[in-house]
Amino acid sequence: MLILGIESSCDETAAAVVSDKKEILSNVIYSQIVEHKSFGGVVPEIAARAHLEKIDVVVRKALSDANVGLSDLEAIAGTCGPGLIGGVIVGATFAKALAMSSGLPFIAVNHIEAHALCARLTNDMAFPYLLMLASGGHCQLCIVRGVDDFEVLGTTIDDSVGEAFDKVAKLLELGYPGGPIIEKTAQLGDASKFVLPHPMCVKNTMDFSFSGLKTAVKVAAEKCETERDKIDLCACFQKTVIEVLRYKITQAIKHCLKEKIKISCVVMSGGVAANQAICKSLESLCAEFYLPFIAPPIRLCTDNGAMIAWLGVEKCLSQKFDELNFAPRPRWPLN
Ligand code: KG4
Ligand code: ZN
């Protein structure tokens, strides 16, 4: 079974062909970083126009790289939300039009769910598992029980983790996107130089808050006198994010133990899962609880078409198809 997946919810135009045997036959990603760089963040209208310009080239390449035609496919899956609505409309409409013209079933994919199930494409793992989803647009701690079956334990009340990385990088004038630059800079810094707050790590809640941390970095940055101070601040910020994630994930694991929910592993996905310092620390935390820690390979952590196609495979296997009038959704919570 082969599924074409199309993604356009943020600043990557992407398409991929994936099989039910977990083979990624193609995975084409056009990143719009160049278009948005000078603005220091994603500009929705520019993103929508860039998706429109590139979508046919990207989809065509995904099919030709996989060496398949539309008639070889079982269904077409397209991100229908959540995300920047202009971009979502471009990808969803393209996917629907292709499905209609080729007579194939259409699958409306929730972008967050695609991140959540993506680890199953590269790893054999059973439901239920604990998921820490940390991307630019989303921050969710949940139990994944199956396709379309989630229990959300915590979410952010303000910024997402990736957003915090991007905003901190912007205020330290390091460039965009912030995550990879901060990770690289943090390696050179002294992570004990500044003491930063750990928002919402005292209360018995699995929700997150990162906007106070960002403000604390801003206040500290104003006192930085040298480049060295800025580098150290980066290291302190990343260390604090790691400590917050460890605190929340520990709470979630303890919740599962208390409620006798037998999770098979802890998964980290979304763009922030590309951060090796975070993954290394979480891996050792999970080991303390005798739980495997799994993060998809970096190219599947950030937005891509393969995760959309894979959720298409999972849904196709359970015959979950959607109507062509499925409306694109700027917001689409997991539960
Ligand atoms: O999943 P993704 O590609 O897009 C969304 O669905 O939002 O995630 C992008 C986010 C950005 O905020 C980016 O700064 C962050 O992931 N990111 C990282 C790293 N690589 C990407 N954050 C921390 N460390 C990284 N190495
Ligand atoms: Zn994403």
Q: pLDDT for 47-71, tens place per residue?
A: 999 999 999 999 999 999 999 999 9
- Nearest atom in ligand 1 to the alpha carbon of residue 135 is 8
Per-residue H/E/C for 191-237: CCCCCCCCCCCCCCCCCECCHHHHHHHHHHHHCCCCHHHHHHHHHHH
2-117+300-317 CATH choice from 2.40.10.10, 1.10.10.10, 3.30.420.40, 1.10.8.10: 3.30.420.40
**From the DSSP assignment, how many helices (H) and strands (E) are in the chain?**
12, 10
Which chain residues have CB less than 5 Å from ligand 2, an ion? 135, 303
| Res. 137: pLDDT tops 90 | no
* pLDDT of amino acid 235: 98
Ligand 1 atom closest to the CA of 11, numbered from 1: 4
Cα of 233 from ligand 1 centre, angstroms: 19
Cα separation of 312 and 321, whole Å?
Answer: 9
| Domain 127-295: CATH class, spelled out | alpha beta
Q: What gap in Å lies between CA 82 and CA 75, rounded to an integer?
A: 21
Number of the ligand 1 atom closest to the C-alpha atom of 83: 6
- Which of 118, 272, 275 to probe ligand 1 with, by most ligand atoms within 8 A of CB? 272
Ligand 1 proximal residues by C-beta, below 6 Å: 10, 135-137, 162-163, 165-166, 177-180, 183, 270-272, 274-275, 302-303
Say yes or no to pLDDT of 12 above 80: yes
CA of 153 from ligand 2 middle (Å) equals 19
Mutational test site, ligand 1, from 135, 161, 187, 210, max ligand atoms within 8 Å of CB: 135
**How far apart are alpha carbons 137 and 126 in whole angstroms?**
26
- Interval between CA 271 and ligand 2 midpoint (Å): 7
- Positions of CATH 3.30.420.40 in the chain: 2-117+300-317, 127-295
Q: What ligand has the least distance to the C-alpha of 161? A: 1
**228 C-alpha to center of ligand 2: Å?**
32
Q: Answer with the residue of higher pLDDT: 311 or 37.
A: 311
Sign of CA dihedral 274, 275, 277, 283: negative
* 156, pLDDT greater than 90: yes
Model confidence, pTM:
0.93
Taking alpha carbons only, the member of 5, 19, 1 closest to residue 78 is 5
Helices 276-288 and 227-258: crossing angle in degrees, nearest 10, is 30
Point out the ligand 1 atom lying closest to the alpha carbon of residue 276: 26
What residue owns the CA closest to ligand 1's atom 16?
A: 271
What pLDDT is attached to residue 279? 97
> Does residue 203 carry a pLDDT above 80?
no
Q: Tell me the CA–centroid distance for residue 135 and ligand 1, in Å.
A: 5
Of 300, 240, 236, which Cα lies nearest the Cα of 271?
300
Confidence (pLDDT) at 98: 98
| pLDDT recorded at residue 202 | 80
Q: How much distance in Å is there from the Cα of 272 to the middle of ligand 1? A: 4
- Give the pLDDT score at 191: 97
Computed over every residue of the chain, the mean pLDDT equals: 95
- pLDDT above 80 (res 170): yes
Look up residue 95 and give its two tokens: 């996917």
For ligand 1, the distance from its centroid to the CA atom of residue 318, given in whole angstroms, is 31
